[in-house]
């Protein structure tokens, strides 16, 4: 009886480990339908990356990010000591093609 219980436990743990490995591999080779030509702008605290004709969106994000940072810093009484990268996408479908982050 103990051997059967041990065997079943080993099988269940094996399936759980295989499931975690399969999830870790998902999304590594994402299909990219477009070739993005990235540009960036720098503000006092941010590097804002954008592509195509998104310069208006990037400048808007720059102004709003700096305003939000001032508000957050005054509320938390903490200052950041490094530049913060912001990556802008024009649509969710284009964001799904990214390989900048592991998952979305």
What distance in Å separates the CA atoms of residue 4 and residue 2, rounded to the nearest whole number? 5
For 9-18, write each residue's pLDDT tens digit: 656 666 665 5
Per-residue pLDDT at 3 exceeds 90: no
Specify the DSSP class assigned to residue 26: T
Residue 66 is predicted with a pLDDT of 93
Question: Which residues are registered as beta bridge partners of 50?
Answer: 39
**Residue 44: closest CA among 73, 20, 15, 21:** 73
Question: Which residues are registered as beta bridge partners of 84?
Answer: 46
Q: How many residues does the chain have?
A: 104
For 31-62, write each residue's pLDDT tens digit: 656 677 889 999 999 999 998 888 899 999 99
What distance in Å separates the CA atoms of residue 12 and residue 49, rounded to the nearest whole number? 45
- Lookup: tokens for 96: 């799904």
What distance in Å separates the CA atoms of residue 104 and residue 23, rounded to the nearest whole number? 13
């Amino acid at each position: 009886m103990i051997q059967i219980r041990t065997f079943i436990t080993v099988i269940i743990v094996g399936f759980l480990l295989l499931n975690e490995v399969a999830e870790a591999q998902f999304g590594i080779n994402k299909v990219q339908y477009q070739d993005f030509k990235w540009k960036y702008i720098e503000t006092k605290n941010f590097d804002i990356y954008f592509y195509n004709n998104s310069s208006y969106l990037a400048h808007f994000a720059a102004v709003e990010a700096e305003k939000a940072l001032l508000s957050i810093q005054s509320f938390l009484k903490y200052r950041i000591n490094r530049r913060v990268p912001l990556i802008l996408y024009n649509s969710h479908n284009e964001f799904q093609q990214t390989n900048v982050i592991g998952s979305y």
